[in-house]
A = this chain, B = another copy of it.
Amino acid sequence: MGSAYAAQMKAALIAGGVGPDRVVELAHDLPAHGIEEAAFLLREMARAFPPNTVHVAVVDPGVGGRRLPIAIETRAGPILVGPDNGVLFPLAIELGLRRAYRIDSPKLGRPPRVGTTFDGRDVFAPAAALLAHGRRASTLGPATSPKSYTIPDPVPVPDGARGEVVHTDRFGNLITNIPTRWVDRGVRRLELSSGRAQHRRMAFVTSYESLGRGTLGALGSSFGLVEVAVGEGRASDRLRARVGSRVVLTWRRRSATRTAKAKSARPRKRR
């Protein structure tokens, strides 16, 4: 969200009795038009917050849109508020989806706003303030079945896995959906196939520091997922990869196979 939009939401929270001492801002700089990456990040960012948390998500394509605003109660405790476009779903599954309710603006007890609404400011923030004060989600509107969205699953292949990039962080590191624990303990090298990088071999290391400057490599990210990085560089640029790019990783326990490269002999021109 741009700054003016976030500020207006904070004002709406304060108007609802939720001051800055109770607000944690997770992120404003999510990619502008991607529900997939936002859903992944929201789950990763929000999973560790305490049971009495109300999470509010606004993902861009819906600003001013006509998707229904919803509130989702979870078994773990947190309540999720946002547009019913799937962005809340992976976090809801993670925390245990209990019930979802549509949020009807008139139930928020505020004078309706004339003209185009900004759901974050006019619906989500006021609803979140009420929920933070103990109001039940069921009082905000009728029960509903939320739109589902599932972060794509990786697929095991012989000596490897097929998956995709689910997040590029601000350093250009590519976080895949392939769990680090899928990679056998003994693996030290693996082979990557993604976009431009056809069967590129790389080291599987345990820290960024182990990657020489400019060297491509893979490591276990802090998300518990395999990440492709370049030492002090941007893997996303190097591989021209981004969220959704297909990734195939293959490895062998002892040593990776040498890829045979048949160099076509070019006959020299005679003079």
Contacts and interface: CB of A to CB of B under 8 A. Distances in A.
Interface in A1-35: 2-8, 10-12, 14-15, 19-24, 26-30, 32-33
Contacts of A188: none
Interface string A103-123: 000000000001111100100
Interface stretch (A45-53, A146-154, A252-260): A45-53
A232 B61 contact: yes
Contact of A221 (B67, B116, B171): B116
A242 B232 CA distance: 17
Contacts of A170: 2-3, 32
A181 to B, nearest CB: 7
A220 B115 CA distance: 7
A24 B6 CA distance: 11
A60 B27 CA distance: 18
B14 A27 contact: no
A2 B12 CA distance: 26
A170 B116 CA distance: 19
A21 B14 CA distance: 12
A167 interface: yes
